[in-house]
Amino acid sequence: MSGFAGKVCVMTGAGGGMGLAIARALRAEGCAVTAIDPKPAPSDFAAGAGGAARYVQGDATDEALVERTVSDAFENAGRLDYLVNAAGVAWYDRDGAIAEMEMAVWHRTIEINLTAAALMARHAEPRMRRTGAGGAMVHIASVVGLRNMENILEGGPIDAYQVSKAGLAALSRSLAMQLAPAGIRSNTICPGAVLTPMTAPTYEADPSRVDAMVARTPLGRLGLPEDIAYACLFLLSDKASFITGIDLVVDGGIMAKL
Ligand SMILES: NC(=O)c1ccc[n+]([C@@H]2O[C@H](COP(=O)([O-])OP(=O)(O)OC[C@H]3O[C@@H](n4cnc5c(N)ncnc54)[C@H](O)[C@@H]3O)[C@@H](O)[C@H]2O)c1
C-alpha cells in the first residue's frame, strides 16, 4: 500500500495480537511506529527492515506517560501522521451483568478500552494538526459495540466491555467531525471473533467454543490478526481519503445475519 514511507504513527496495544500485526505491517511499509503496551516488547516488533520502531513498556491510562511518549515521537521525527488505538482488555470471567459485577472491573475496563484511547487522541491531535499534512486515526472497537453479543464463556452479558467499545465508536465519530476541517480522519474497525492472545486461552480451554463461533460466522473461520491489520492500513492510507466517521466491520459476515 502506498503513502506510508517517512510517516509517523503512535499506537497502543502492540504487545500482541492485532496491534502487533498492525505495527509490523506499518513498519514494513516504511512508517515509523512508537507503541505503548505493558507487556514486554515482542521479539518481532522491531524485526526486519522498515520504519523506525520504539516500544515503551507502560500503561496507556497513565496520562503523563502518554503525553511524554507522543511528544517524543513527534519531536524526534518532526511530524505525526497516524494514531492507532488497539489496546484492550476483555475479562470474560469477571465482566458480566452490571447488577452483579465488581465495579472495579467496570472502572478498569472503561479506563483501558476507552479512556486510554481518549488520552492518546488528546495528545496526538494537536501534534497531527501541527504537522499540517492531514493524517488518520483508527480505533479498534468491536462488533459488540454495535450490537449485543454474548460473552464467549458461558453466554450472558459482558457489560463493561460492550459499553467501552460503544463509547470508543462514539468518540471516533466525534473526533471525525472535529478533525475533518484539518483533513484528519477518524474511523473504527469492529472485529468479530479473532484468534489472538486475548481469546486463545478461552478457545483452547474449550474447543467447542471455536466450533460455535465458526458455525455462526458465514465465512466459516475465526479472524486472524492480519485480517484486521489489512483493514487498518487501508483506513489509514490515502486510498481511504474520503472515509471518515465510519465503523468498518471485519467479522466474516456475523453482523450481516439476522
Ligand atoms: N480478539 C477478538 O476476538 C477481538 C474482537 C473484537 C475486538 N477486539 C479488540 O481488538 C483489540 C486488540 O485485541 P487483541 O485481540 O489483539 O488482544 P491482545 O490481548 O493480543 O492485545 C491487546 C493488547 O492491549 C494491551 N494493553 C492492555 N492494557 C493496556 C494498557 N493499559 N495500555 C496499553 N496497552 C494495553 C495488552 O497488553 C495487549 O498487548 C482490543 O481492543 C480488543 O478489545 C478483539
Atom of ligand 1 nearest to the CA of 113: 41
pLDDT at 152: 82
How far is 194 from 251, CA to CA, in rounded Å?
8
pLDDT at 149: 83
Instruction: Calculate how far, in angstroms, residue 197's C-alpha sits from the geometric centre of ligand 1.
Output: 8
Instruction: Calculate how far, in angstroms, residue 179's C-alpha sits from the geometric centre of ligand 1.
Output: 25
CA distances from 106 to 12, 97, 148, 197 (A): 20, 10, 17, 21
Is the CB of residue 30 less than 8 Å from the CB of residue 6? yes
β-strand pairing of 32-37 with 8-12: parallel
Radius of gyration of the chain from Cα atoms?
Answer: 17
- The correct answer on CATH 3.40.50.10490 for the domain covering 8-256 is no
Instruction: Calculate how far, in angstroms, residue 13's C-alpha sits from the geometric centre of ligand 1.
Output: 6
Q: Which active-site residues does the annotation give? A: 161
- Tens of each residue's pLDDT in the chain, 258 residues: 669 999 999 999 999 999 999 999 999 999 999 999 999 999 999 999 999 999 999 999 999 999 999 999 999 999 999 999 999 999 999 999 999 999 999 999 999 999 999 999 999 999 999 999 999 999 999 999 999 988 888 788 999 999 999 999 999 999 999 999 999 999 999 999 999 999 999 999 999 999 999 999 999 999 999 999 999 999 999 999 999 999 999 999 999 998
Atom of ligand 1 nearest to the CA of 195: 1
pLDDT at 2: 67
Residues 6+ apart with CB under 8 A from 96: 151, 156, 157, 158, 159
How far is 225 from 246, CA to CA, in rounded Å?
20
β-strand pairing of 135-140 with 184-191: parallel
Query: Structural domain boundaries of the chain?
Result: 8-256
Q: Which of 45, 119, 196 to mutate to test the pocket of ligand 1 (most atoms within 8 A of CB)?
A: 196
Q: Which of 24, 36, 89 to mutate to test the pocket of ligand 1 (most atoms within 8 A of CB)?
A: 89
Is the CB of residue 84 less than 8 Å from the CB of residue 238? no
> Measuring from each residue's beta carbon to the nearest atom of ligand 1, which residues come in under 6 Å?
12-13, 15-19, 36-39, 59-61, 86-90, 112, 116, 140, 142, 191, 193-194, 196-199
How far is 66 from 175, CA to CA, in rounded Å?
18
Residues 6+ apart with CB under 8 A from 247: 141, 145, 146, 169, 172, 187, 188, 189, 190
Q: Which of 11, 12, 18 to mutate to test the pocket of ligand 1 (most atoms within 8 A of CB)?
A: 18
Is the CB of residue 157 less than 8 Å from the CB of residue 106? no
Atom of ligand 1 nearest to the CA of 161: 43
Atom of ligand 1 nearest to the CA of 223: 3
pLDDT at 1: 60
